[in-house]
Structure 1
Amino acid sequence: MTEDAPLLSARGLVREFTSRGGGPLARRRVLRAVDGVDLDVRAGETLALVGESGSGKSTTARLAARLLDPTEGTVSYQGEDVTRLTGAALHHFRSQVQVVFQDPFSSLNPRHTVERIVTAPLRYQRRPVPGGARAFTRALMERVGLNPDHSGRHPAQFSGGQAQRIGIARALAVGPRIVVCDEAVSALDVSVQARVINLLRRLQREEGLGYLFIAHDLAVVRQIADRVAVLHHGRVVESGDRDSLFAAPRHAYTRTLLAAVPRIRPEWEAARRARAAERAAATPPEEESR
């Protein structure tokens, strides 16, 4: 595998769902939610998969992480087809490709403490917790900007942004190389979004992580993505590096998405972003965790 080869690749991904209408004589309907998707994610880069609701983004994310099996096509990790892995081999793959979900409160067990949540992937993998559960959790909490003294708290005792940081800590626990962020900031306030995006960027720089970043908000995509793939009715209709795609979109659907982004006076937007960046830089991690 060469240095610039993708860590994670998908080729010809198809996922169909079958549904039955009402009544005993109703025919089964086949919905093709993902229709021939190709994508690559490299170490240290962010591929954003964008599209409107129902375009197949989250289904593609789950296929890439092997949370769903494809109807057709393959998923490869470091050049190896992982589509039909089972048992220990599948466990290993999932330790390398972790997911951060959209709603942190839905993905965190409300009855468990942060310590139990963060160490759960290691227990699932039947791996020892380095240094013990308490010390391990405290170190990860500090790393994602949370107060380590709160490792005994439950999810309901945290804000939405803090809960999402717990989800990120849980994803990091097994040392992944790819993180799938499925609308990971869409449920957060704008100021909190900025802090979480800054956290994701820092972790990417430190660990060389590759991100598959699922989003519908193109303003967020512009902040974090290196490359962008536009999904429409389950198909990638356009892809390319972020700046080129935003500057000169080729497909009509991409132009429609960009036209829907609210626009304000550029000087106001520049000043707003500068103030937000100053606030984020001036806010110590422990202050947000209070």
Structure 2
Amino acid sequence: MTLLQVQGLVKEFSTPGALGRKSTFTAVDDVSFDVGLGETLAIVGESGSGKSTTARIAARLLEPTRGTVVFDGQDVTRARGKDLARFRNDVQVVFQDPFSSLNPRYTVERIITAPLAYQGIKPAAGYRAAAQELMERVGLNPDHCRRYPAQFSGGQAQRIGIARALAVNPRLVICDEAVSALDVSIQAQVLELLMRLQAESGFSYIFIAHDLAVVRQICHRVAVMNQGRIVELGTREQVFGDPQDDYTRTLLAAVPRINPEWDAKRRQRKVAS
């Protein structure tokens, strides 16, 4: 079953030009994809490819210039008021830099339960108990709920961001470069956490990344973006095992020994040519 469907997304930005004239830059150009229940769709590409802009439109953090966003059969492209609040209860975002997305003046308890307060949800056992339960779920010490973000490491801060996203039991979590700011060992721990949480709760992911090794570990399908367009879309096995687009091949070639089978096929193609 399809949970999210985006169709024909276009996002244009106006930039100052010479003599006071404005020019238009197209960051996302006719992008379409869908995400199934319990599925992880990875959107990959180099910096500036439009992948994060696409994700923010899908989360309704940016308005599209054209195109539609349909969630669970409902067109939410121009949703407002209660409809938008309901959508944001179902779709949460984990951002790239955990510290910049966590208010340094708020305790972890307040940060994690902010989505509950926004939705007007009052947990039966209270906000502190809810925060502690979520902290335990993501592998943090619940006794530290009164601490501030600066008192945590980068990996722990990202776990706080994940706990905040899970507070309202979302159906779709968008991870916008959620592990790119972490070192390799911490990346592995956070990825394992994300996969475990998905197995437990059955929600879907859109996973934005430029690291193809990370994408191969976590995703079911891959959309490759280049210059605002999706140039390849397929299952993990299709994209990594037999890429069809030259840009995809270039990205894969930049990751050493990411897939021995693909490397063997690439060598065979070179010999044949």
Q: TM-score range by the shorter chain?
A: over 0.9
Say if 2:213 and 2:258, in contact at 8 Å, map to a contact too. no
Identity of aligned residues (%): 68
Q: What is the match of residue 66 of structure 2?
A: 72
* Alignment equivalent of 1:123, drawn from 117, 123, 146: 117
Would the alpha carbon gap of residues 141 and 126 (structure 1) be closer, same or farther in structure 2, given more than 3 Å must change?
same
Match of 2:8 in 1: 12
Q: Displacement of 1:124 after TM fit? A: 1.2
Distance 2:259 2:167 in 1: 43
122-131 or 92-101: which moved more?
Answer: 122-131
Pick which of 179-188 and 118-127 moved more: 118-127
- Aligned residues of 2:15 and 2:23 also touching (Cα < 8 A): yes
CA contact (8 A) 1:230 1:239 kept: yes
**C-alpha contact (below 8 Å) 1:97/1:176 kept by paired residues:** yes
Equivalent-residue separation in structure 2 for 1:195 and 1:264 (angstroms): 19
Say whether the 8 Å CA contact 1:181–1:213 is kept in structure 2. Answer: yes
**1:84 offset after TM fit, Å?**
0.8
In the alignment, the residues of structure 2 paired with residue 103 and residue 265 of structure 1 have an alpha-carbon distance, to the nearest angstrom, of 29
- Superposed displacement of residue 149, structure 1: 0.5
The aligned runs of 1:20-59 (5 Å cut-off) are 20-21=16-17, 25-59=19-53
Letter in 2 for 1:123: A
Cα distance change of structure 1 residues 188 and 98 upon mapping to structure 2, 3 Å threshold: same
Structure 2 runs not aligned, ≥5 long? 261-273
Distance 2:185 2:247 in 1: 29
For the pair 1:226 / 2:220, whether they are aligned, the reply is yes
Root-mean-square deviation (Å): 1.3
Displacement, 1:259? 0.7
Distance apart, 1:191 and its partner CA: 0.5
Give 1:88 shift. Answer: 1.0
Aligned twin of 1:285: none
Provide the C-alpha distance between the structure 2 equivalents of 1:221 and 1:74, rounded to a whole number of angstroms.
Answer: 26
- Counterpart code for 1:105: F
- Specify the alignment match of 1:181 in structure 2: 175
- Which ranges of structure 1 fall in alignment gaps of 5 or more residues? 267-290
Aligned length: 260
SS at match of 2:252: helix
For normalisation by structure 2, the TM-score amounts to: 0.93
TM-score, normalised with respect to structure 1? 0.88
Specify the SS of the correspondent of 1:66: coil
Report the 3-state secondary structure (helix = DSSP H, G, I; strand = E; otherwise coil) of the residue aligned with 2:255.
coil
